Amino acid sequence: MIISCNFHKLRNLLAQNMKIAIFLLALVAGIQAGTYLDRFNEQYKKIHNSSNGYFSKEGVPYHSIETLVVEAPDYGHETTSEAYSYYLWLEALNGYITGDFSSFNEAWKNLETYIIPTYQPTLGGYNPSSPATYADEKDTPSEYPSAMESGVPVGQDPLFNELKETYGEAFMYSMHWLLDVDNKYGFGDAQGQCEGGPEQTGPSLINTFQRGPEESVWRTIPQPTCDKFEYGGTNGFLDLFVGDNSYTPQWKYTAAPDADARAIQAAFWAVQWAKEKGVYDSISETVAKAAKMGDFLRYSMFDKYFKKIGDCTSKYDCPGGTGKDSAHYLINWYFSWGGAMPDRGSWAWIIGDGASHFGYQNPLAAYALSNIEELKPKSPTAVSDWATSLERQLELYEFLQTPEGAFAGGVTNSWHGRYDTPDSNVTADTFHGLFYDWEPVYHDPPSNRWFGMQPWSTDRLAQYYYVTKDAEVEPILKKWAEWVMSAIKLENGDFQMPDHLTWKGVPPEIHVTIGVYTQEIGTASATARTLAYWAAASGDEEAKQFSKDLLDALYKYASPQGITIPEIPDQYGRFEEPVYVPSGWTGTYPYGDVIDSSATFVGIRSWYKDDPEWSKIEEILDGGEIPEFTFHRFWAQTDVAISFGTYAILFDE
């Protein structure tokens, strides 16, 4: 009787709405909702399958399953704030699909536990009228340490007192960018302890890059975030980076603002989807924390030393800013903060960064923080700052777009990282007084060579357009979509993505060419999702089909651990590359590796020689060709899952 009644209803529905009826009949027959939703669920389960090894025992996402991975992290079982932001996004989407957002809350709780530094003991001694003592950024690691110069003017920090009054404490609610998940280096800088050493088995915060644009990962000297002079040399690691008359043990952290912004982007979607499911109350506390993170993320809008924005061509003559005139309102490359150990002083410091890469911009996050009630930060000027940032970011896309459609590098308030005078051709057309830079921040390899910056950033722009239908954005996205579809080789069910991009000219006449192609999973996935959002908002059927075909091509490479394609990492001949250490400087790591003028990448990471795949590196170092490696990067695997789920949601397929 019940079955008869159900089919009677289905027959009536069939007459009214064929699509709904077919969907219900499929459910009765036990058929899953759709191909791309199935693929999301499949990929999600692989990522959460403990035997695949994407997470540590503490639930921290590793940078990759594999350990012999040298990219921005110098070891596969480190992790980044970037990985955490993808983790949040994955769980927000899973919440939409299942109606249960508890895993989104759990992801934020894990983030808060392990990668937001709780040890900030002397930040209360920070003087916002004197944020930090100036030091030049140098061109090469061999020019370090860089002398601190108290005679160079710095500006005033307009955020600190407002944030302290708003939240009732001196504390930066921002992610540090790098986490040694299994304490491989042995520093043991766990949250809230600033102690530990090699005997600690849990996650430990660490630092790397600090010596100019030529300091690739192969030339870095990893160091602790709490430098108590227990390791390194006489002054810990500090005198490798800055030159001073004396040194004080201190704690120090660095944020990667694009990751914090992506976490807020994930929270935006969680708000929309949880409301749609009628369960917003279940995530309200987590969303409030995302809004708080957005409040502190405003430090990404400021010049490194809070100098006045615009036409800074001399570190001595470029004045310190007051109020918000040191804000460029873009999302910069980093901001850092630190201070003395409590038994050695009460001072602290904060710096921003004058350089902003287009690839780090996130107009959806800026929109959310200035327009979505649940995500508006509490500080009095935060909403207006993010509204200004939104407009400034949209201007930047237009300023940096090439005639072909791609986006060039970025802009800076501090040429060479020391307020030099740029070549005359660079200053011909500035952006609110900021100078165009085709490779802002790092040059080995150039920061805008990697194609992945294109879909990473344009995806956020496309999501913003999908949400707002802002007419200003439509022609920008249309041009980019046409370029990227012409640039990708998609045929016979397979794909080749651009990898290395080269640039010529300055605004408004910048041109891009493609030098090298690859089959990179993450960039293909991000591009497919960007085109999907653009197609859903604009009705571009070609972009929709292209997105679908690219996702189908990706799925051909599915395996029990995820989706991956073997690759040849062209930099893997650099394991014995020299790491610059000043003559006469000697120090040690917790496990005994010596740091001196004969240091090499693997020489200060001798544990790499015990890696299961080290034999491949030995073959390379013996003169052999670089072989294929298979990597399962957390960000790329989650990106693929998110793209499958997004396509299913946007097109009900």
Provide the annotated active-site residues. Answer: 82, 258
Region of 39 on the Ramachandran plot (φ > 0 left; ψ -120 to 50 alpha; else beta):
alpha
Per DSSP bridges, beta strands 146-149 and 242-243 are parallel
Q: In angstroms, rounded to a whole number, what is the distance separating the alpha carbons of residues 401 and 496?
A: 23
Q: What angle do CA 416, 178, 108 make, to 5 degrees?
A: 125
**What do you get for the CA distance between the two ends of the chain, in Å?**
33
Q: In angstroms, rounded to a whole number, what is the distance separating the alpha carbons of residues 625 and 641?
A: 33
Q: In angstroms, rounded to a whole number, what is the distance separating the alpha carbons of residues 67 and 79?
A: 11
**Do residues 553 and 532 touch, judged by C-beta distance below 8 A?**
no
Q: In angstroms, rounded to a whole number, what is the distance separating the alpha carbons of residues 39 and 563?
A: 11
Element holding 512 (H helix, E strand): strand 509-518
**3-class DSSP assignment, residue 406:** coil
Dihedral in degrees, nearest 10, Cα atoms 542, 544, 550, 551:
-170
Count of positions (residues) in the chain: 653
Instruction: Produce one character per residue of 213-240: b if its CB has 16 or more CB atoms within 10 Å, e if not.
Output: bbbbbbbbbbbbbbbbbebbbebbbbbb
Q: In angstroms, rounded to a whole number, what is the distance separating the alpha carbons of residues 638 and 488?
A: 22
Q: In angstroms, rounded to a whole number, what is the distance separating the alpha carbons of residues 333 and 359?
A: 10
Q: Which two tokens stand for residue 390?
A: 């939104």
CA 653 from centroid of its chain's CA atoms: 30
Dihedral in degrees, nearest 10, Cα atoms 429, 434, 437, 442:
180
- In angstroms, what CA-CA distances link 117 with 111, 339, 572? 10, 13, 32
Give every CB contact of residue 289 below 8 A, 6+ residues apart in sequence.
108, 112, 173
Q: In angstroms, rounded to a whole number, what is the distance separating the alpha carbons of residues 62 and 48?
A: 12
Q: Which of 281, 263, 284, 275 is nearest to 374 (CA)?
A: 284
Q: What is the 3-state secondary structure (H, E, C) of 132-165?
A: CCEECCCCCHHHCCEEEECCCCCCCCCCHHHHHH
Query: Could you count the other beta carbons within 10 Å of the beta carbon of residue 624?
Result: 12
